[in-house]
Chains A and B, each alone.
Chain A
Amino acid sequence: METFLGLDYPTWWFLVIGGLFSGYAILDGFDFGAGAWHLFFKKDHSRRIAMNAVGPVWDGNEVWLVIGGGALFAGFPVMYATFFSSMYIPFMLFLVFLILRGISIEVRGKEEWPWWRNMFDIIYSVSSIMLAFLLGVVLGNVLQGLAIGPEYQYQGAGFFEFLNPYSLLTGFTTLFLFMTHGAIYLLVKTEGRLFAKLTILMKRGLILFMVFFGITTMYTLLYIPHLSDDFKANPVLFAAPLITFLSIANVPRLANKKRYKLAFIFSSITIASMLVLVAIELYPTLLFSTVNAQYNIDIYNAAASEGSMENMLIIVAIGTPLVLGYTYFVYRTFRGKVQLDETSY
């Protein structure tokens, strides 16, 4: 098998997709999180500020989802096909909420009527909450494994199979992590009373996250042996959850010192390190079969051809600096506190 710098192509591709999903979780994580708090802000002006904080960037953040999805499709077609078709209902709900959320940002400010604005505020906030929650639920299902049989066929196919105790735990953990992350983003972007309120909300989100993260970790260690085995065999890997814990613990400390940008960087590190944790638990498997381990989908049986992986790695190597470049340029242009003008939402 072809290798590059000592790693084979499927492993490279696993890292690339992990990187793209981490980028997506950090970026759309803060805008889902900011949206989730939306109804806690009572005044129309506060809501406008909060929405305009994500206004110029939400669309660029979703690019990472499009690229991540395309990368999964291109790199591990078998995983993409089985994973998406077995998580049918949660993904369809995810799409519908993604549509409703995008549209409510777009149209909320187009009319002055209170009922209109309230309606889109509610749609925006509920969709944001559901999107964060559904991402966590899907992640929980991946970690736990799915009923995959021969020929990579999912054998579950019920309406509510995707909701189970573990996926609910990961769903809430993700929601509260994103809400904390979103609150910190808004702290960077707002001033005055909205800002003051957010300092309190951020701490509440953080406490809820810590509680759910703790329970989820316990549950994983106790009930999901295929995930905890790696850790028991190789205790060095406990560094990943330790980094998660230290970086999230650093957030309130930095917030108290009013160093919000740095706090945002640390909540981003928390999200990234949690995904590193997930990657360690999975690698080299992508999807565990709960029917029989021989049906597991891993980076080798799911991989695209070597030629395709090589092409795609070149495409990613050229494309990523470009994407990072535009992203930097946009965030730089809209840096600082939100200022409303006639082009705002």
Chain B
Amino acid sequence: MYLCSTKFFTMDTEILARIQFAFTIAFHYIYPPLSIGLGLLMVLFESMYIRTKNKKYHILAKFWTKIFALTFGIGVVTGIVMEFEFGTNWAVYSRYVGDVFGSALAAEGIFAFALESGFLGILLFGWNRVKPWVHLVSTIGVFLGSMFSAVWIVVANSWQQTPAGYQIVGEGLNARAEITDFWAMVFNPSSVDRVLHVWLGALLAGAFLVLSVHAYYIVKNRFVEISKPAFKIALVVAAVFSLAQLYTGHHSAEGVAVNQPAKLAAMEGHFKASAPADLYLFGWVDKESQEVTGLKIPGGLSFLLHYDTEAPVTGLNAFPEEDRPGQINAVFQFYHIMIAIGMILIGLSLYGVFLWWKGKLFRKKGLLWVFVFAAILPQIANQAGWFAAEMGRQPWVVYGHLRTNEAFSQAVTDNQILFSLILFMIVYAFLFLLFIYLLNKKIQHGPYEASKKDDNDRPLNKEITQVVIGN
């Protein structure tokens, strides 16, 4: 293939493999959190329908199932890519971690993904074929499957961050990690914190999408009767989980301080080997001068970790240059973006609950518009959090054991990766446009057929009868 035989700039195989993995997994990660989050809301709507027999909830469950189908479909097809890429682009890594990572991946497939996909058919196409409770069981099956998927994938990733329950055998290219204790591998030091953190991030992504769409209907005065209860249910989910996220986030950070001190130091731009550390609200890290410019709470990080503003925290200089993350400012920024958004989500959902309590929730058009656009925030926070976690883990692919620059496939050439990377970029751009187009179309069309103007004035029962009969 002479066409691209000249080196593309000076990018080598390692960088291209990293870019490809980052690109494909970041794109993939738009969808699974939505599937998990919408899964919970669908279970809630459908349970409400079975309990109350109120058709509003039936309409909501069906409407969100359609949007769920779209996110789930893209999630599945972009997810298989990851499983292949370990072998195609990270062969040395795959040989090294096969024992551990392979088990988790296989367990994910057989316990979680099979559950999800098995019941998906009934969830999507079974409304008229099975009894309502069987359908609800299928919805719950799909939701639980997606939650379990997250467990196994995050366990596998957590093992890379904080390896446990293994021993290293062999040397050089033949070195590999062997499981010595399966449960110690599963419950490695960061697993539980990170699974909870990822779950809540996903549930928030779903809740804020539901809030966004129904806020939009309410301000546009369409489908108002079903949008109000939907908004309230999603608001409760958002308020509970955004607060809980504060706790799992804090607990995660404490774990990082113990298990991956270089990562935590990069997240806060803390260089001094052992000194009290500040907490930045925002800032800019200069790696050369080892200075951070920004707004800080002096001793804040020390306080959060040890409840003492004077307590020393391990800084980046405690590690040899080659063992520190390369992109310290990027890790800092991603981490701070995530936290800032977390705070905004708490503020927004609690303010919503407060107004609901005051009985003014649906009168604040301005706030509703904020909710319309807030759907993007958990997405950004989820991406930023993962970028901070993965870039903060560098230069290791398995923390303390295997370096990223030793882990990629030696047999694959830069031209081959460039070819596949460009192919993925084109296909994913196409997918993303389709997704946005179809999502917008479904939202504009709405949960049921209704006349364009003032549908709110028409008696709900009549509309619902039409919908049900029409179906």
A70 contact set on B, CB distance < 8 A = 83, 102, 105-110
B70 contact set on A, CB distance < 8 A = 106
Q: Which of A56, A84, A88 contacts B121 (CB 8 A)?
A: A56
Question: A75 → chain B, closest Cβ, in Å?
Answer: 7
Give residues 75-116 of B contacting A (CB, 8 Å). Answer: 76-78, 80-81, 83-84, 86-89, 91-92, 94-95, 97-103, 105-111, 113-115
B370 within 8 A of A: no
Given A73-B105, A159-B1, do A88 and B410 touch, yes or no (CB 8 Å)? no
B387-402 contact mask (Cβ, 8 Å, vs A): 1 or 0: 0000000000000000
Q: Whole-angstrom distance between the alpha carbons of A59 and B416 in the complex?
A: 29
A154-166 contact mask (Cβ, 8 Å, vs B): 1 or 0: 1111111000000
Q: Does A323 contact B91, Cβ atoms closer than 8 Å?
A: no
B165-194 contact mask (Cβ, 8 Å, vs A): 1 or 0: 000010001101011101000000000000
A3 contact set on B, CB distance < 8 A = none
B419 contact set on A, CB distance < 8 A = 89, 92, 159
Question: B77 → chain A, closest Cβ, in Å?
Answer: 4
B169 contact set on A, CB distance < 8 A = 305
Question: A328 → chain B, closest Cβ, in Å?
Answer: 9
Q: Whole-angstrom distance between the alpha carbons of A153 and B87 in the complex?
A: 13
Give residues 70-88 of A contacting B (CB, 8 Å). Answer: 70-78, 80-88
A158 contact set on B, CB distance < 8 A = 1
A107 contact set on B, CB distance < 8 A = 434, 438
Q: Which of A55, A62, A76, A322 contacts B80 (CB 8 A)?
A: A62
B60 contact set on A, CB distance < 8 A = none
B128 within 8 A of A: yes
Question: A150 → chain B, closest Cβ, in Å?
Answer: 9
B179 contact set on A, CB distance < 8 A = 305, 307-308, 311
Question: B164 → chain A, closest Cβ, in Å?
Answer: 15
Question: A343 → chain B, closest Cβ, in Å?
Answer: 5
Given A77-B94, A83-B87, A157-B411, do A323 and B118 touch, yes or no (CB 8 Å)? yes
Q: Which of B84, B92, B120, B431 contacts A91 (CB 8 A)?
A: B84
Q: Which of B80, B101, B126, B411 contacts A95 (CB 8 A)?
A: B80
Identify which of B238-246, B255-263, B372-380, B420-428 touches chain A. Answer: B420-428
Give residues 56-78 of B contacting A (CB, 8 Å). Answer: 69-70, 73-74, 76-78
B73 contact set on A, CB distance < 8 A = 59, 102-103, 105-106
Q: Does B88 contact A88, Cβ atoms closer than 8 Å?
A: yes
The closest CB in chain A to the CB of B134 belongs to: A333
Q: Interface size bucket, B side?
A: 35 or more
A151 within 8 A of B: yes
A342 contact set on B, CB distance < 8 A = 471
Q: Whole-angstrom distance between the alpha carbons of A69 and B84 in the complex?
A: 8
Q: Whole-angstrom distance between the alpha carbons of A73 and B174 in the complex?
A: 16
Q: Does A74 contact B121, Cβ atoms closer than 8 Å?
A: no
The closest CB in chain B to the CB of A159 belongs to: B1
Q: Which of A59, A95, A154, A311 contacts B76 (CB 8 A)?
A: A59
B51 within 8 A of A: no
Question: A303 → chain B, closest Cβ, in Å?
Answer: 9
Q: Whole-angstrom distance between the alpha carbons of A158 and B415 in the complex?
A: 9
Q: Which of B86, B120, B409 contacts A59 (CB 8 A)?
A: B120
A229-261 contact mask (Cβ, 8 Å, vs B): 1 or 0: 000000000000000000000000000000000
A341 contact set on B, CB distance < 8 A = 125, 128, 471
Q: Does B95 contact A74, Cβ atoms closer than 8 Å?
A: no
Number of chain A residues close to chain B: CB under 8 A: 76
- Among A82, A157, A334, A343, the one with the most B-chain Cβ atoms within 10 Å of its Cβ is A343
Q: Does B114 contact A99, Cβ atoms closer than 8 Å?
A: no
Question: A163 → chain B, closest Cβ, in Å?
Answer: 13
Q: Whole-angstrom distance between the alpha carbons of A157 and B412 in the complex?
A: 6
A81 contact set on B, CB distance < 8 A = 87, 91-92, 94-95, 98, 409
A327 contact set on B, CB distance < 8 A = 118
B25 within 8 A of A: no
Q: Does A92 contact B431, Cβ atoms closer than 8 Å?
A: no
A279 within 8 A of B: no
Q: Which residues of B contact A (CB under 8 A)?
A: 1, 69-70, 73-74, 76-78, 80-81, 83-84, 86-89, 91-92, 94-95, 97-103, 105-111, 113-115, 117-122, 124-130, 141, 169, 173-174, 176, 178-180, 182, 409-413, 415-416, 419-420, 423-424, 427, 431, 434, 438, 441, 471
**Interface CB pairs A-B, < 8 A, 21:** A59-B76, A66-B108, A70-B106, A70-B107, A73-B86, A73-B87, A73-B98, A73-B102, A77-B98, A81-B94, A84-B91, A85-B88, A88-B88, A89-B419, A92-B420, A96-B423, A107-B434, A157-B411, A159-B415, A304-B103, A312-B106
CB-CB nearest 6 A-B residue pairs: A77-B98, A84-B87, A326-B118, A74-B102, A319-B110, A70-B106
Q: Which residues of A contact B (CB under 8 A)?
A: 55-57, 59-60, 62-63, 65-67, 69-78, 80-89, 91-92, 94-96, 98-100, 102-103, 105-107, 110, 151-160, 304-305, 307-308, 311-312, 315-316, 319-320, 322-323, 326-327, 329-330, 333-334, 341-344
* Given A85-B87, A316-B106, A326-B119, 12 other A-B residues pairs in contact with their CB atoms under 8 A: A74-B106, A76-B98, A86-B411, A87-B88, A88-B411, A88-B420, A92-B416, A153-B411, A159-B416, A304-B102, A308-B102, A319-B107
